[in-house]
């Protein structure tokens, strides 16, 4: 979340949800805040543990429903390959992402992958295969760790 601070992000997230006819409830907002406090890929069990620490009792389905809402509204991306979630910096435009994960420091960077996936989509289509919308994960080293 390099493009804005946490309070600006949360305010923009509330406006975004309202614009889609949904509400960023207190629980959804709290789950989003917990994800924002962590860097890189965040696991659902980490969010659950943090929520239990703040609220006391919290059931896993509560966290999963909140995370699903945040993904559905483009505030987070679910990264199946990493079994976790990342914050989307530009949730106002729905897109497929290239998720770059540093194997050394764990830093995650999200890049719009629409143009790159177009070529892959054409290749798949030529082979009689229709790609589902998706985010691609590539592992390597970030600029800081590559030095």
Q: Average model confidence (pLDDT) for the chain?
A: 88
Range of the domain at 116: 97-146
- 14 lies in some domain: yes
Q: What is the pLDDT of residues 48-81, one digit of tens each?
A: 999 999 988 888 999 999 999 999 998 998 888 7
Flag whether 17 is marked binding.
no
CA angle 85, 68, 30 (to 5 degrees): 75
CA separation for the pair 26, 29 (Å, rounded): 5
Q: Please indicate if the annotation marks 142 as binding a ligand.
A: yes
CATH number of the domain bearing residue 14: 1.10.10.10
Predicted confidence band at 106 (pLDDT cuts at 50, 70, 90)?
A: confident
Tell whether the model's pLDDT for residue 83 goes beyond 60.
Answer: yes
- Residue 141: which pLDDT band, with cuts at 50, 70 and 90? very high
For the segment 90-112, the average pLDDT, to the nearest whole number, is 81
Same domain, 68 and 17: yes
Q: Look at the alpha carbons of 131, 98, 60, 1 in this order and tell me if their dihedral is positive or negative.
A: negative
Domain count, the chain: 2
């Amino acid at each position: 979340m390099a493009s804005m601070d946490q309070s600006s992000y949360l305010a923009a997230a509330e406006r975004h949800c309202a614009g889609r006819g949904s509400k960023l409830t207190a629980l959804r907002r709290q789950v989003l805040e917990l994800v924002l406090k962590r860097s890189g890929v965040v696991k659902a069990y980490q969010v659950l543990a943090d929520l239990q620490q703040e609220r006391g009792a919290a059931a896993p389905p509560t966290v999963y429903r909140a995370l699903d809402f945040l993904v559905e509204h483009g505030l987070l991306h679910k990264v199946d390959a990493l079994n976790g979630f990342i914050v989307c910096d530009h949730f106002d435009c729905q897109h497929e992402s290239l998720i770059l994960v540093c194997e050394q420091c764990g830093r995650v960077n999200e890049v719009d992958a629409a143009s790159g996936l177009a070529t892959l989509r054409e290749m798949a289509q030529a082979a009689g295969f229709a790609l589902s919308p998706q985010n691609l994960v590539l592992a390597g080293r970030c600029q800081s760790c590559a030095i």
